[in-house]
Amino acid sequence: MTPSPTLGHQDISSLVWLWLRAHAPAHLRAAQAVGVGLSHNTSRQPDVLLCRAGLPSDRSRLRPADVVLAVAFVTPGTRRVDRFAKPGEYAAAGIPFYWRIEQDPVHVYAYRLGDRIGPGGERQYELVADSAELIELTEPFEVKLPVSDIVP
């Protein structure tokens, strides 16, 4: 069983959601803690995600095809899952982008789905940027994220 998020975890989660909400283009929608069905027997609930705008507001479970970016905030109780299990599952489901955000100090790792094939035949993520200061990306949209903007 996963422990409840800490206050610090929730603070940074809210700041990332607010930043994405303010900066993502209109065709993308930022959301928090919405379930994503990854396979017939696996679902996850990213801390923050970007999905396609226009989805009905009453949806509590999304399809991987609806999700553009999944974001996980690493805490002591979730290190192994956030660093290994989640990225593997999200990549296997075809979610194009994954951000892992470490805390103490805050450090952002941005991944995109690559062409490398894992041992199970699924595509894997490749690291495209990491920083404790500034994340600059061209995908899933033009991102210039000062990490200080998401530090509580």
Instruction: Examine the pLDDT at 1 and tell me if it is beyond 70.
Output: no
Contact of 46 with 35, CB cutoff 8 Å? no
How many domains does one find in the chain? 1
Q: What is the pLDDT of residues 60-99, one digit of tens each?
A: 999 999 999 999 999 888 888 888 889 999 999 999 999 9
Is residue 2 in some structural domain?
Answer: no
Contact of 97 with 140, CB cutoff 8 Å? yes
Assign 4 a pLDDT band (cuts: 50, 70, 90): confident
Beta bridge partner(s), residue 143: 137
**Containing domain of residue 19, as a range?**
7-150
pLDDT value at position 118? 78
CA–CA gap between residue 123 and residue 137 (Å, rounded)? 21
From 1-5, 59-63, 145-149, the region with the lowest mean pLDDT: 1-5
Is residue 110 in some structural domain?
Answer: yes
Is residue 1 in some structural domain?
Answer: no
Instruction: Examine the pLDDT at 21 and tell me if it is beyond 90.
Output: yes
Q: What is the CATH number of the domain that holds 120?
A: 3.90.1570.10
